[in-house]
Structure 1
């Protein structure tokens, strides 16, 4: 589902791992690793179908890549991490349900200073909690009328990819090891990502899956705040 809209799936991975009480030292790098594979596949399909706009991508990436590296390097308090993640998952639910998603009729030129600032903020936040940031970036692009739905999906996919790579590098510089459990999940992420990206870059809609995913994210968010 995530790949179908140009996302890597971090909010879903984070929600499931939070529900099953995975330790934070595993949650963050695992989500970033899976993001790389799924968003990479998603980007390839959207670019293949000519939806990628380089001029829309680079203003965000210039600042997000170094910021994601710093975020990946940082270690935050467990309680604070859970609270931040809980808030993010609620935002993700609203995003998945279509709130803040409306595409504007008239497209505008990208405001470079604002895009640089947005990229920096999303990049830092993404690296800190283990996401790529696409789920935040794509609605911003649509709200500001800087791109179409398909363009925002294509840009978000590559945005997630580069931020996730940068975040993992930062994580590895701070930590001596990488959780081996993460690699067992890659084949499943690849299969789902390929199917989602293939149909999402063309035409795809699944209302039931949307509501199911929203329920899981909301449940995980509640658990993070309560325990």
Structure 2
């Protein structure tokens, strides 16, 4: 039987990579949920998810950088705060009895934030001026007053936010962009393109840091990691191929087929469904 009867999980990884990459995400939350549902060892699946994240989101980061759409000066505090904590989170050993409920809860929260953020974005977009729509159809006007000052100039707060989300991302083996993006949208941190680019970079660096943490806590060499992959998920090379292809298609074309708001809603439904399903296991 093709792929040992696991063609479906490869197909789902491809679809997840295509949809998530269109919105600047890596898809780690859904990869992890799919692997849990497929009874992959909980020590191995975060590493598989993080590698898939890297394969998908690296293309998005490269595209944003080439198009000069990466807001480096603004995203540095978030990224700097997240890197060490993602490593710390990844290096903490969790039993399956703790890991699965934690993952389920984070997926449900992420799905709710995505839906909430999408409605907020739609409401703000309808009130924007025609000039703003010409410059950026997804533009979100900045807040005024103390809230605006706190989010635009509060380096300490943004570093703290990055650290907290990095720790959570490291614990459950994802990049964390799926948590960061809704928070930035709800706070009107910047325009949608800036947020997508920042989320992509956030996922990239946290996936690297989390992967280092995940490997260090087990003390596995590269050869031992490959052995564990083959033992618990012998079809793992196909997962990497599927997300690489899906991510490339999503980065280049899918954003022109569907609006960002529609993609956010689709992603939210997928994440919520996975979180609820895990919660009932």
TM-score, normalised to structure 1, is: 0.89
Task: State the shift of 1:21 in Å.
Answer: 2.3
Which of 158, 164, 181 is residue 207 of structure 2 equivalent to?
164
Partner secondary structure for residue 100 of structure 1: helix
Task: State the shift of 1:215 in Å.
Answer: 4.8
Partner secondary structure for residue 23 of structure 1: coil
Task: State the shift of 1:184 in Å.
Answer: 3.3
Aligned to 2:128: none
Aligned to 1:100: 117
Q: Which moved more, 1:82-91 or 1:203-212?
A: 203-212
Task: State the shift of 1:171 in Å.
Answer: 1.3
Task: State the shift of 1:131 in Å.
Answer: 0.6
Task: State the shift of 1:213 in Å.
Answer: 5.2
Aligned to 1:226: 280
Q: Does 1:133 align with 2:187?
A: no
Q: Distance in 2 between matches of 1:148 and 1:203?
A: 20
Aligned to 2:241: 187
8 A contact 2:23–2:260 mirrored in 1: no
Unmatched tracts of structure 2, length 5 or more = 1-18, 122-138
Q: Distance in 1 between matches of 2:154 and 2:167?
A: 20
Which has the larger share of helix? 2
Aligned to 1:41: 59
Unmatched tracts of structure 1, length 5 or more = none
8 A contact 1:46–1:201 mirrored in 2: no
CA deviations 1:81-100 (Å, max 9, x no partner) are 1111111121232344x322
Partner secondary structure for residue 99 of structure 1: helix
| Correspondence list, 1:36-75, <5 A | 36-75=54-93
Task: State the shift of 1:217 in Å.
Answer: 3.4
Change (3 A) 1:166 1:37: same
Partner secondary structure for residue 25 of structure 2: coil
Task: State the shift of 1:71 in Å.
Answer: 0.8
Q: Does 1:142 align with 2:185?
A: yes
Task: State the shift of 1:203 in Å.
Answer: 7.0
Aligned to 1:78: 96
Q: Distance in 1 between matches of 2:176 and 2:274?
A: 19
Aligned to 1:17: 35
**Bigger CA radius of gyration:** 2
8 A contact 2:26–2:200 mirrored in 1: yes
Give the superposed CA RMSD.
Answer: 2.4
Number of aligned pairs? 226
Q: Distance in 2 between matches of 1:114 and 1:210?
A: 26
Q: Distance in 2 between matches of 1:207 and 1:147?
A: 16
Aligned to 2:132: none
Change (3 A) 1:194 1:105: same
Q: Distance in 2 between matches of 1:126 and 1:222?
A: 19
